């Protein structure tokens, strides 16, 4: 069974840093591209970032570029999101998602349960 378990969320002051983790199990982690998606309280889903299977290629939403860094450790089956220079608008539940592709279409068939990041003084 595919499992994605996020951790590392919490309360942080504006300008602070936090590192989120997503522990993967039940599949060959090193074969899949992985993503972070966030959801501010009462708001919709917002894609944050993607990393390819070996970690050599990353891409970010414009609103987080330069402040958030996605990475992975395939030996530990873990995805990370390093969050620096945090702003109040970064307050959200952060989900990790496994990218699955079929017929040229890629989507999220598996999501973690999410971890809440609150940026507040």
Partner 1 sequence: SYELTQPPSVSVSPGQTATITCSGDQLWDKFICWYQQKPGQSPVLVIYEHTKRPSGIPERFSGSKSGNTATLTITGTQAVDEADYYCQAWDSGKVVFGGGTKLTVL
Phi, psi of 29 (to 5 degrees): -55, -40
For partner 1, the closer CB: 64 or 86: 64
Q: Which tokens in the block code for residue 52?
A: 């390819």
Both tokens assigned to 78: 């873990």
CA distance 79 to 101: 19
Does 8 engage in binding with partner 1 (CB under 8 A)? no
Compute the distance between CA of residue 7 and CA of residue 2 in angstroms, rounded to an integer.
Answer: 17
Nearer to partner 1, 80 or 94 (CB): 94
State yes or no: residue 50 binds partner 1 (CB under 8 A): yes
* Binding of residue 2 to partner 1 (CB under 8 A): no
- CB within 8 A of 90, min separation 6: which ones? 38, 64, 83, 117, 119
Q: Which of 20, 94, 112, 119 binds partner 1 (CB under 8 A)?
A: 112
Please compute, for residue 102, the number of CA atoms within 13 A of its CA located in the half-sphere on the CB side: 4
Stretch of 10-18, 22-30, 76-84, 110-118 contacting partner 1, by CB under 8 A: 110-118
CB of 100 to partner 1, least distance (A): 8
Residues at the interface with partner 1 (CB under 8 A): 35, 37, 44-47, 50, 59, 61-62, 95, 102-109, 111-114
């Amino acid at each position: 069974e595919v499992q994605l378990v996020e951790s590392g969320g919490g309360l942080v002051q504006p300008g602070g840093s936090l590192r989120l983790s997503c522990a993967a199990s039940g599949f060959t982690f090193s074969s899949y591209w992985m993503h972070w998606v966030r959801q501010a309280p009462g708001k919709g889903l917002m894609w944050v970032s993607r990393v390819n299977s070996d970690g050599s290629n990353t891409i970010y939403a414009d609103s987080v570029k330069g402040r958030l860094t996605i990475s992975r450790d395939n030996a530990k089956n873990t995805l990370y999101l390093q969050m620096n220079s945090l702003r109040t608008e970064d307050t959200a539940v952060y989900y990790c998602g496994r990218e699955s592709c079929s017929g040229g279409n890629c989507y999220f068939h598996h999501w973690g349960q999410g971890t809440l990041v609150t940026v507040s003084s």
